[in-house]
Amino acid sequence: MVHHAPLNRRRALLLGASAAAVTALAKPASAAARSTLLNVSYDPTREFYAEYDAAFARMRKTQTGDDVSVNVSNGGSGAQARAVISGLQADVVTLGLAYDIDAIAKAGLLSPDWAKRLPDNSTPFTSTIVFLVRAGNPKHIKDWPDLIRGDVQIVTANPKTSGGARWSFLAAYGAALAASGGNSAKAQDYVKAFYKNVPVLDAGARGATLSFTKRGIGDVLVSWENEAHLAIAQGGKNYEIVSPGSSILAEPPVAVVDQIVDSRKTRKLAEAYLQNLYTPASQEIGARHFYRPRDPDVAKRFAGQFSPLTLFTIETFGGWQAAQKRFFSDGGVFDQVYGG
Amino acid sequence: MSTATTTAPAPTADLPAAKHQPGILPGFRLSLGISLFALSLLVLLPTAAMVGDAASLGLGGLWRVASSPRVIGAFRVSLICALLAALTCAVFGLLIAWVLVRTRFPGRRIADAMVDLPFALPTSVAGIALSTLYAPNGWLGGLLAPLGIHVAFTVVGIYVALTFVGLPFVVRSVQPVLQDLEAEQDEAAMMLGADRLQTFSRVIFPAILPSLCAGFAMAFARGLGEYGSVIFISSNRPLVSEIVPLLIVTKLEQFDFAGAAAIGTLMLLLSFCVLLAITLLQRLGQLPRRG
């Protein structure tokens, strides 16, 4: 036995080496290419892209024979944009709001007209802002005006640090604006009363969900629709979703990062990766993860899980650049609400 | 420091020899060069880059950032919480170090190892753990809430988090000094007629004061800059419970790099002033004893 051990090991080594040689020789012949993509995304997409990437790789393998592996980086939308600007080699970005991709465009990494390159403002899925309340809805929260009652505590994230919370702020503001017939002073009073009822302003959307579900803070969570569905999927019968009368059409966009795909020679693959998001099969994966599909047929099939809402878009506020400046920059409406 | 009198004659005897000796450790020049290079790469250069970014605003811009109500409010919250937390750390850290050095009890080694836990734990994990514990539906928070004491999601929560992350600094800086203080010294003091309080206040405390100050300063500086543990336990509301590091993140979210660097530079200045003040205080405390 003692004598055999080294021999066995040597044989194993030899075998291993020859196997490696065989695969190295065979590779160029069998596989056309082995390529990787990096998708830099925001926080709540983790589960969706895990499923989509596997489906995309399978599809590429059957269609072109290429081995594709997609790496995903998740984080706060703004922080992810900053990472790309500072040199993170993202072939594609799939972020929470257009403003963050605009920032990457401003840094010169992709063309400023990126939003026009793919259908529907380069947004394959949409979402919206809804309320998550405790089971049985003990505070009888039905619509936006209920949130500013004295006996209601709201949990939401800080719009200054969270992209999702910016959608929430605009949903609240926009609903009040519509209710008052376009009176922006009244809308501002509304958001002031709204944030007076917020006892905890979490830095990110996931943190706000945790404060509401795990820490038992507040009566209502104002959050992404898919985040609310996820909380219900995990928390069982402890919560229910309340859809307000009107809310914002949240459009988390996607884009190919020109400078990086050109230097890495991955443009074709990156473009295919994003275009494929619009196919019925992919739209269905998104819908299963509670993103509202753009494809009308898929939307019809999943209509049961998305309550019908009156949705207004970011264009109500003149697009993201204008909205950011007016509401969230220093001294903007959000700062005025807090008197800072 | 207290041993200075016993070694006083030594320097004169060593001095001529020291001139010819190449040094105890070989490769002094090389190691100094490498250290300085690493230090500039890791500390000086990034710091300079930050100050450079901030300088792009000009003095007027810096003043505009510094004088905004939210920045002032955040500095107030950060400073007061970090100061109170560091004071608490100084008191309890000293106590813990004392117990660990001077007493023997079962599980002492485990307790000793546990002191480092806040160093080892990622601070965001600490923040989540603390907020789970102190939330109104948490173990401790549930007991405190009926008494009207709210810790999580208030300023008190920030204080608790900063005490947690600052404690090991005090324990670990006092402990070795306490260990080196030989028991003979307090025995001698007692033999000379000092009571326990006198022994502590005249013999032990002066000897450990510099290290206690150093631990306090480190806990304070750490508290000022702490982010991960605080954002989970604080309610992060502007002008109420918003800390300075959160404001920096806020500026970065707006892609306002210069504004973020400006606040960072202010914090750097503040920490530097604190460290400088404590060093000077230590000097002042030592002067009379030297003469």
Alpha carbons B117 and B110: distance in angstroms, whole number? 11
Region label for B150, one of left (φ > 0), alpha (ψ between -120 and 50) or beta (otherwise): beta
Alpha carbons A110 and A222: distance in angstroms, whole number? 33
Tell me the percentage of chain B whose pLDDT exceeds 70: 89
Nearest by CB to A340, which of B70, B252, B254?
B70
Give chain A's radius of gyration (CA, Å): 24
Residue A1 pLDDT more than 60?
Answer: no
Residue in A132, A125, A167 with CA at minimum distance from that of residue A299 = A125
CB contact under 8 A, B68 and A216: no
Instruction: Quickly state the pLDDT bin for B23 (edges 50, 70, 90).
Output: low
Which strands, in side-by-side order, build the sheet including A254-256? A67-75, A34-42, A92-94, A254-256
Residue in B77, B100, B109 with CA at minimum distance from that of residue B223 = B77
Looking at chain B, which residue has its C-alpha nearest residue A102?
B255
Is A255 in contact with A101 (CB distance < 8 Å)?
yes
On whether any CB of chain B is under 8 Å from the CB of A217, the answer is yes
Min Cα separation A216/chain B (Å):
6
pLDDT in tens, B144-198: 989 988 898 899 999 999 999 999 999 999 999 998 887 778 788 888 888 888 8
Residue B19 pLDDT more than 60?
Answer: no
What average pLDDT does chain A have?
Answer: 88
Confidence at residue B182, expressed as pLDDT on a 0 to 100 scale = 75
Amino acid at B170: V
Mean per-residue pLDDT, B12-39 = 69
Where do we find the tokens 């494809």? A295
Nearest by CB to A215, which of B135, B249, B254?
B135
Amino acid at A221: L
Residue B10 pLDDT more than 80?
Answer: no
CB contact under 8 A, B152 and A158: no
The token pair at A225 is 């629709």
Residue A261 pLDDT more than 60?
Answer: yes
On whether any CB of chain B is under 8 Å from the CB of A86, the answer is no
Residue B280 pLDDT more than 60?
Answer: yes
**B-chain residues within 8 Å CB-CB of A96?**
none
Residues 318-337 of A with CB under 8 A from B: 324, 328-330, 335
On whether any CB of chain B is under 8 Å from the CB of A82, the answer is yes
Give chain B's radius of gyration (CA, Å): 23
CB contact under 8 A, B237 and A335: no
CB contact under 8 A, A338 and B253: no
Look at A97-106, A204-213, B154-163 and tell me which has the smallest mean pLDDT.
A204-213
Nearest by CB to B250, which of A81, A82, A161?
A161
CB neighbour list of residue B13: distance below 8 Å, 6 or more residues apart = none
**B-chain residues within 8 Å CB-CB of A82?**
252, 255
* Interface of chain B toward chain A, CB-CB under 8 angstroms: 68-70, 73, 131-132, 135-138, 152-153, 231-232, 235-239, 246, 249-250, 252-256, 259
Nearest by CB to B69, which of A216, A329, A340?
A340
Is A50 in contact with A37 (CB distance < 8 Å)?
no
Confidence at residue B286, expressed as pLDDT on a 0 to 100 scale = 65
DSSP 8-state code for residue A291: P
CB contact under 8 A, B239 and A339: yes
Confidence at residue A31, expressed as pLDDT on a 0 to 100 scale = 44
Mean per-residue pLDDT, A219-228 = 93
Alpha carbons B232 and B242: distance in angstroms, whole number? 12
CB pairs A-B closer than 8 Å: 78
CB neighbour list of residue A110: distance below 8 Å, 6 or more residues apart = A101, A104, A255, A256, A257, A258, A259
**A-chain residues within 8 Å CB-CB of B250?**
158, 160-161
- Give the bridge partners for A133, in sequence order: A220, A240
| Mutant choice from B255, B256, B257 vs A, greatest count of A C-beta within 10 A | B255
Confidence at residue B24, expressed as pLDDT on a 0 to 100 scale = 67
Q: What DSSP string describes B167-224?
A: HHHHHHHHHHHHHHS-HHHHHHHHHTT--HHHIIIIIIHHHHHHHHHHHHHHHHHHHH
CB contact under 8 A, A340 and B152: no
Residue in A256, A254, A227, A243 with CA at minimum distance from that of residue A125 = A254
**A-chain residues within 8 Å CB-CB of B259?**
330
Residue A32 pLDDT more than 90?
Answer: no
Instruction: Quickly state the pLDDT bin for A204 (edges 50, 70, 90).
Output: confident
Where do we find the tokens 């999702």? A164
Residue A168 pLDDT more than 80?
Answer: yes
Alpha carbons B189 and A10: distance in angstroms, whole number? 72
| Residue B175 C-alpha from the chain's centroid | 15
CB contact under 8 A, A79 and B252: yes
Measure Cα distances from A85 to A238, B3, B183, B264 in Å. Answer: 41, 56, 60, 20
Is A101 in contact with A93 (CB distance < 8 Å)?
yes
**A-chain residues within 8 Å CB-CB of B256?**
330
Instruction: Quickly state the pLDDT bin for B6 (edges 50, 70, 90).
Output: very low
CB contact under 8 A, B255 and A338: no
Confidence at residue A79, expressed as pLDDT on a 0 to 100 scale = 87
Alpha carbons within 13 A on the beta-carbon side of A84: 38
Is B213 in contact with B89 (CB distance < 8 Å)?
no
Residue A44 pLDDT more than 90?
Answer: no
CB contact under 8 A, B238 and A335: yes
Is A275 in contact with A282 (CB distance < 8 Å)?
no
**A-chain residues within 8 Å CB-CB of B132?**
214-215
Nearest by CB to B137, which of A198, A216, A340?
A216
End-to-end CA distance of chain A: 79
Measure Cα distances from B198 to A253, A268, B4, B186, B191 in Å. Answer: 71, 81, 22, 10, 12
Where do we find the tokens 């800086």? B173
CB contact under 8 A, B235 and A200: yes
The token pair at B233 is 């336990």
**A-chain residues within 8 Å CB-CB of B136?**
215-217
On whether any CB of chain B is under 8 Å from the CB of A43, the answer is no
Looking at chain A, which residue has its C-alpha nearest residue B239?
A340
Report ipTM (2 d.p.). Answer: 0.71
**A-chain residues within 8 Å CB-CB of B236?**
158, 200-203
Please report the sign of the dihedral spanned by the C-alpha atoms of residue A163, residue A168, residue A173, residue A175: positive
CB neighbour list of residue B152: distance below 8 Å, 6 or more residues apart = A215, B130, B131, B133, B134, B135, B136, B138, B141, B233
Residue in A215, A338, A221 with CA at minimum distance from that of residue B236 = A338
**Long-range CB contacts (within 8 A, 24+) of B181-185:** B181/B2, B181/B207, B181/B208, B185/B2
β-pairing, A154-157 vs A200-202, is parallel
CB contact under 8 A, A215 and B252: no
Report the 10 Å Cβ neighbour count for A46: 13
**B-chain residues within 8 Å CB-CB of A202?**
231, 236
Measure Cα distances from B3 to A155, B6, B7, B182, B225 in Å. Answer: 59, 6, 7, 11, 36
Amino acid at B158: I
Mean per-residue pLDDT, B279-289 = 69
